[in-house]
Structures are given as C-alpha cells and as structure tokens.
C-alpha cells in the first residue's frame, strides 16, 4: 500500500505497450472509384445515430512486409458507439465482410459511411454494398493526408485498438481469429456499455488561450438511449443484454484472451531479438 508511482511504473513497464513506438501507415490509395465516391467537404452536423466513420489499424510491428493482422474500426459520430473487428491482411472482400458483420450487430441502421482513401474501402465491393441498396447509404471519403477529417475514428484507433493490443506484430492467422473473438464477445461490449466518453462541443478563445468545452461524460449506450427516434425494441434488447453483463468479469475475460492473442507475438519478438 506504500509503493511509489515510480516503482509502479518500473514494475509495469514490461506489461505496457511501447509508447515510444508508432504504428506504420498502411493506407494504399484506391483510385478506381474516386469519381463515384465523393470527398466529404464538411463535418456531419447530426443529431442521431447512423453516421459512421471507418478506418483500419495495422498490427505490423516495425515492418509492413509480409502478411499480418489488421483491425477495422467503425465509430458512430453522434453516440460514439464503436465496433471493432480483426481481419487477416486487409483484402477488399475480407474488409467488406467484416463491415457487413458490424452492420448486423449495430442497434441502428447505417445512414452515412465515411472512410479514408485506402483501397480496402474505395472498391467495388463496398460501393455496391452501400450504393446499390434500396435506400443508398451516403458513401464518402476524406481528403488525402487530412486525418482530422475522420478525427473521431482516429481517436478510437488509439483508445479501442492501440491501448488494448499495442504495437506488436501479429503475423499468425490464428491471432486474427482470436483477436476478432475478443473484440466481438468482450471488448466491444465493455467499451460501449461501461466506458464513458466526452464529446468536444466547441473551442472558446480567451485572448491568446484556447479553452475546449466538452459535454458530460456518458457511455455510448447512454447516448443512444437519449436519441429520439431510436427503435425501442433495440433499446429493450440492449438493456436486457446489459443486465447479463458484469464489467469486472468482462475485464477478466479480456485479459485472459489478450494473453492468448499476444503470446505468439511476444515469442516471435524474443526469438528475433535473440
């Protein structure tokens, strides 16, 4: 009970993600559909769920060479509801399948979908999926080299992926399956039902200083319940699901599964270092 913060930091250093390292940029421009998928020139001003920002995160370690696992992150602009999936490599069909799985799991319909210019998003699979349905989804893309166009999902890449998995290389297909199972059965539930988040409302300028104003912290589920027009059947289903969840048990299961995901990566890293 008398341990100092410095000693805690030293003892826990081996368990933490390497904060000094940075993930590699894996965006490879998709050029085939740039005329069909327009650039979003302004931020969505929305008052309800369904407007989605999407991005991918590479679990490549220090090298983009070869095959490895990727995470696909989708974030709702209004409620901050976030769903993450793992995929082996980031082929167009594989990413499309993961996005279709996410849409089935969402408690609201997708009205708008905005991504970067990566080929995993700018392709015929997703274009047909969103644009050829009876009520087409507003499919847009961000400007090249402008991460702030998708600021919300970029922030979730850190809180929902990097803080959980870190920067190790996951180059075994089994790791992709295990990570996806962790995302679906524990991690997304834990973050959406039990982890409050603040939303930036505005920035006030006072002389030479800027003051950022945020709203009251709330979980994505609480924000969803406060939305008008949300299907009450979906809300009832989510409330029943939440009643069966224990955040402490979820956290224990997350830690147990995470060790299984990262163990091959740690072993590979140690063998390479030796």
Can you give the pLDDT at residue 16? 61
The beta strands (E) that lie in the chain are given as 51-59, 69-76, 82-88, 112-115, 138-141, 200-206, 209-214
Can you give the pLDDT at residue 76? 94
Taking residues 39-68, what's their average pLDDT?
Answer: 85
Can you give the pLDDT at residue 30? 47
**Percent of the residues in the chain that have a pLDDT greater than 90, as a whole number:** 54
**159: closest CA among 185, 188, 182?**
188
Check pLDDT > 80 for residue 128: yes
Check pLDDT > 60 for residue 22: no
Taking residues 125-144, what's their average pLDDT?
Answer: 89
The 10s digit of each residue's pLDDT in 34-48 is: 667 878 766 667 788
The Cα 274–Cα 269 span in angstroms is 9
Helices (H), 52-172: 92-105, 124-131, 151-156, 163-165
Helices (H), 70-187: 92-105, 124-131, 151-156, 163-165, 173-182
What is the DSSP-derived secondary structure letter of residue 158? I
**Is residue 199 a contact partner of residue 47, using CB atoms and an 8 Å limit?**
no
Domain boundary assignment for the chain:
32-273
The Cα 166–Cα 157 span in angstroms is 11
pLDDT category at 266 given cuts 50, 70, 90 is low
The 10s digit of each residue's pLDDT in 191-216 is: 999 999 988 888 899 888 999 898 89
pLDDT category at 265 given cuts 50, 70, 90 is low
The 10s digit of each residue's pLDDT in 152-168 is: 899 999 999 999 999 98
The Cα 147–Cα 230 span in angstroms is 30
Taking residues 216-225, what's their average pLDDT?
Answer: 94
Can you give the pLDDT at residue 117? 87
Which of 19-28, 96-105, 210-219 shows the lowest per-residue confidence on average (mean pLDDT)?
Answer: 19-28
Taking residues 87-108, what's their average pLDDT?
Answer: 94
**Is residue 149 a contact partner of residue 143, using CB atoms and an 8 Å limit?**
yes
**84: closest CA among 165, 17, 149, 24?**
165
3-state class (DSSP) for residue 223: helix
- Higher pLDDT: 178 or 147? It is 178
Superfamily in which the 32-273 domain is placed by CATH: Ribonuclease H-like superfamily/Ribonuclease H (3.30.420.10)
**Is residue 90 a contact partner of residue 99, using CB atoms and an 8 Å limit?**
no
Check pLDDT > 70 for residue 271: no
Check pLDDT > 90 for residue 243: yes
At residue 271, φ and ψ (nearest 5 deg) are: -65, -35
């Amino acid at each position: 009970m008398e341990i100092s913060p410095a000693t805690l930091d030293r003892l826990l250093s081996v368990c933490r993600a390497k904060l000094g390292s940075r993930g590699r940029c894996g965006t490879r421009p998709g050029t085939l559909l740039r005329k069909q998928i327009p650039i979003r020139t302004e931020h969505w001003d929305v008052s309800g769920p369904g407007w989605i920002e999407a991005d991918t995160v590479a679990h490549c370690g220090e090298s983009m060479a070869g095959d490895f696992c990727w995470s696909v992150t989708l974030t709702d602009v209004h409620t901050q509801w976030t769903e993450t999936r793992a995929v082996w490599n980031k082929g167009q069909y594989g990413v499309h399948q993961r996005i279709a799985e996410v849409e089935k799991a969402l408690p609201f319909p997708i009205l708008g979908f905005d991504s970067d210019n990566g080929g995993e998003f700018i392709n015929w699979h997703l274009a047909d999926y969103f644009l050829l349905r009876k009520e087409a989804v507003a499919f847009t893309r961000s400007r090249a080299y402008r991460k702030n166009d998708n600021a919300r999902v970029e922030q979730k890449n850190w809180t929902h992926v990097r803080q959980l998995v870190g920067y190790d290389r996951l180059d075994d297909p089994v790791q992709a399956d295990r990570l996806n199972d962790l995302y679906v059965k524990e991690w997304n539930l834990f973050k959406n039902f039990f982890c409050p988040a603040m939303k930036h409302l505005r920035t006030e300028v006072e002389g030479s200083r800027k003051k950022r104003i945020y709203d009251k912290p709330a979980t994505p589920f609480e924000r969803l319940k406060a939305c008008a027009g949300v299907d009450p059947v979906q809300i009832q289903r989510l409330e029943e699901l939440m009643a069966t969840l224990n955040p402490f048990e979820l956290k224990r299961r997350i830690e147990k599964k995470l060790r299984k995901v990262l163990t091959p990566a740690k072993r590979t890293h140690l063998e390479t270092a030796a």
